[in-house]
């Protein structure tokens, strides 16, 4: 019964802010992403830097790769890269992105930025990926196992920075496109860009409608983004805006028996959610001699209205309002001392988060606020042309207030948090490079960690802390490039849900370690290949869970092995075929923290194909997803009966799309 209650509660916490769902096929990029070279990266320093000038490894997915891909949303791109697992809890494109094996709370340990500003939620809900259309993205930067010093909490697994497009100087362009797919899916998109030497404007808009694979899973999604900027001799001013609205019906999870009988049926035929939101980001950069000064002021708001168990006497209407504001000044100062070149980055983050939620079935009205003040500094030192060192630290003070108005419960928490990182890279020769880093990171408990929706009880948890280490090597040999990374993390006070006590708790000590291996080959100008493999171990180091010793037990929802392989072949002029295979190994079901359930989530392998042709401004695509019609699911929970519930994933689907660009 306790496991069933835990499952029911998790449905609430995971589905309150669920947004969109789509069956438009996901395909890997046509060309392998870059890990070395002259790509510009801002994630690692919060300023533009050549990729080769930073000591940690960063993967960059370029605009060309995104343009060539037909993935519908960002997670469909990310799942092709080592160390990243994507989990679908209800058919939504707002999927959980889990870097380096944190299971059900993977998205709480993976920090996501939009143009350098946090968009990861202070709730147990995933990033609103659906509101970031691929047509608006210039590049995506993936920094594994780093980000706490410059960006704060929630970066233990890594940081993903999404950089949106800006208008090209002295250029006018526009595009429109549309597509249809299986499950009565259609989409339309359009945008334009115009700029002179000083001022530029770029606007994108998207619409998506689908019935989706399962019953009661229809989606209607609309979003728009705009970037207006002024560029002068000494700096830049910009204003970025976005808005989105989505209506989604929620089919719920199915039991093992129901999945075998009909995986397309809806367990909750009347459930739905409606989410609308928007953001604004004002900022600029200014050159003062050799130094650079920057300032951002951003706001993000969200309103969600959801209804669960609509067709039962236990119907629960949930209304949530969230407002987030931040101000982020920073500076980059190059200097020389002792004949050695240094680059110092220093700044401050002031963040304000306000939350208000009502739940009718539980007569609950909870409000929460969080105020963060943080200061950070990071210095990068060049020891000649072959060796780069960096060291940085962050000091953050947080005040957190939570109250259940109807029940009269309230609590306040003040915390002083610290993080540091030391990293080095050494170029052995023209082919080989090695790097290493170690440091600490943290994660603050969110509203759903601290507040029990069923009982109204408040229990403020300790911040989660981690000691992180990584070594790696990169090799360029002929037409191939390779990367190997080995990492190890010891986590204390990890935040999790206890199925026995039926509260979120700080876990006994846990550990993550693993290896990431990837290779990319440019066989010819017309043929590119890539392959990668991820090995991940997530275990309890010691302690007990609900009175049961869990020493050396697996943390649920972490596959030990994952692999991807793909090719891109231009077999005729302007005609290209793309193929990608994704493998995810077995993993423990959610709630099976004691590893006593005699089943594991089955492994699965997906094969996707796409054919594209460019003709006089047109880009024509057709393809198939899940070619071999694999029956699978990416999320399942042990309910204790003994059986499991899961969210069946879509079967084989096909699509056709066309896009035209005016230049």
Tens-digit pLDDT profile for residues 231-245: 999 999 999 999 999
For residue 575 the two structure tokens come to 């005609």
Distance CA(250)–CA(311), nearest Å, equals 12
Distance CA(256)–CA(193), nearest Å, equals 50
Res 193: pLDDT? 96
Range list of H helices, 404-471: 447-450
Residue position matching structure tokens 């109204």 = 456
Domain boundaries, the chain: 2-243+271-662
Q: Which of 290, 288, 248, 254 is CA-nearest to residue 271? A: 248
What digits encode the pLDDT tens for the residues 257-308?
999 999 999 999 999 999 999 999 999 999 999 999 999 999 999 999 999 9
- pTM summary value: 0.91
Res 463: pLDDT? 95
Res 24: pLDDT? 36
105 phi and psi angles, rounded to 5 deg: -105, 30
Residue position matching structure tokens 């969230």 = 322
264 phi and psi angles, rounded to 5 deg: -95, -5
Contact 599, 644 (CB under 8 A): yes
In this structure, how many other beta carbons lie within 10 angstroms of the beta carbon of residue 533?
16
Distance CA(533)–CA(518), nearest Å, equals 6
Place domain 2-243+271-662 in its CATH homologous superfamily: TonB-dependent receptor, beta-barrel domain (2.40.170.20)
Res 113: pLDDT? 94
For residue 97 the two structure tokens come to 């992105």
Which residues of the chain fall short of a pLDDT of 70?
1-39, 53, 68, 70, 90-91, 498-502
How many residues make up the chain in this entry? 663
Distance CA(630)–CA(307), nearest Å, equals 32
Q: Which of 449, 356, 339 is CA-nearest to residue 104? A: 449
Distance CA(200)–CA(170), nearest Å, equals 9
**Does residue 197 sit in helix, strand or coil?**
coil
C-alpha dist (Å) from residue 279 to 4, 128, 204, 303, 536:
38, 12, 15, 12, 36
């Amino acid at each position: 019964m306790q496991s069933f209650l835990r499952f029911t509660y998790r449905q609430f916490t995971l589905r309150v802010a669920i947004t969109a769902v789509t069956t438009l096929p996901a395909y890997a990029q046509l060309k392998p992403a870059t890990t070395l070279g002259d790509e510009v990266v801002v994630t690692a320093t919060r300023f533009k830097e050549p990729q080769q000038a930073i000591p940690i490894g960063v993967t960059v997915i370029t605009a060309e790769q995104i343009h060539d891909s037909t993935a519908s949303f960002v997670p469909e791109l990310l799942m092709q890269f080592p160390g990243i697992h994507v989990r679908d809890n209800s058919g939504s494109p707002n999927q959980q992105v889990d870097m380096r094996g944190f299971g059900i709370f993977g998205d709480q340990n993976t920090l996501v930025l939009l143009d350098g500003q946090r968009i990861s939620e202070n709730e147990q809900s995933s990033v609103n990926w659906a509101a970031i259309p691929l047509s608006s993205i210039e590049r995506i930067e993936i920094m594994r196992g780093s980000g706490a010093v410059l960006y704060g909490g929630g970066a233990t697994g890594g940081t993903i920075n999404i950089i949106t497009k800006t208008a090209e100087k002295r250029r006018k362009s526009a595009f429109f496109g549309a597509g249809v797919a299986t499950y009565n899916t259609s989409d339309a998109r359009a945008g334009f860009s115009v700029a002179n030497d000083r001022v530029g404007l770029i606007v994108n808009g998207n619409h998506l409608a689908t019935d989706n694979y399962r019953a009661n899973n229809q989606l209607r999604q609309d979003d728009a983004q705009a970037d207006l900027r002024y560029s002068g001799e000494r700096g830049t001013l910009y204003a970025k805006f976005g808005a989105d609205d989505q209506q989604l019906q929620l089919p719920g999870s199915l039991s093992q028996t129901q999945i075998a009988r009909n995986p397309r049926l809806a367990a909750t035929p009347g459930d739905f959610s409606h989410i609308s939101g928007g953001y604004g980001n004002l900022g600029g950069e200014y050159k003062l001699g050799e130094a650079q000064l920057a300032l951002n002021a951003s706001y993000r708001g969200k309103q969600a209205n959801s209804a669960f168990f609509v067709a039962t006497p236990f119907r629960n209407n949930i209304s949530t309002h969230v407002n987030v504001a931040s101000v982020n000044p920073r500076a980059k100062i190059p200097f020389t001392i002792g004949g050695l070149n240094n680059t110092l980055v220093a700044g401050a983050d002031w963040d304000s988060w306000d939350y208000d939620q009502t739940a009718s079935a539980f007569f609950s009205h909870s409000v929460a606020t969080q105020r963060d003040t943080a200061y950070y500094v990071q210095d990068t030192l060049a020891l000649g042309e072959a060796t780069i060192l960096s060291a940085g630290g962050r000091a953050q003070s947080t005040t957190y207030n939570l109250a259940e108005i109807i029940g009269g419960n309230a609590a306040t928490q003040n915390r002083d948090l610290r993080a540091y990182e030391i990293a080095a890279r050494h170029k052995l020769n023209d082919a080989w490079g090695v790097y290493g880093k170690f440091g600490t990171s943290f994660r603050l408990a969110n509203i759903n960690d601290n507040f029990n929706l069923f009982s109204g009880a408040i229990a403020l948890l300790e911040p989660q802390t981690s000691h992180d280490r990584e070594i790696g090597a990169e090799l360029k040999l002929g037409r191939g490039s390779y990367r190997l990374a080995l990492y190890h993390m010891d986590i204390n006070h990890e935040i999790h849900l206890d199925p026995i006590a039926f509260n979120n708790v700080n876990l006994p000590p846990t550990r993550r370690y693993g290896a990431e291996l990837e290779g990319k080959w440019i066989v010819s100008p017309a043929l590119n290949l890539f392959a990668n493999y991820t090995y991940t171990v997530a275990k309890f180091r010691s302690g007990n869970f609900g009175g049961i010793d869990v020493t050396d037990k697996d943390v649920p929802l972490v596959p030990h092995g994952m692999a991807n392989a793909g090719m891109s072949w231009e077999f005729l002029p302007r005609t290209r075929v793309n193929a990608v295979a994704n493998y995810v190994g077995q993993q423990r079901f959610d709630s099976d923290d004691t590893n006593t359930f005699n089943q594991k989530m089955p492994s699965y392998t997906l094969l996707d194909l796409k054919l594209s042709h460019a003709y006089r401004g047109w880009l024509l695509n057709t393809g198939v997803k899940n070619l071999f019609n694999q029956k699978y699911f990416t999320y399942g929970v042990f309910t204790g009966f003994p059986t499991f519930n899961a969210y069946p994933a879509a079967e084989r689907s096909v699509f056709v799309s066309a896009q035209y660009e005016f230049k």
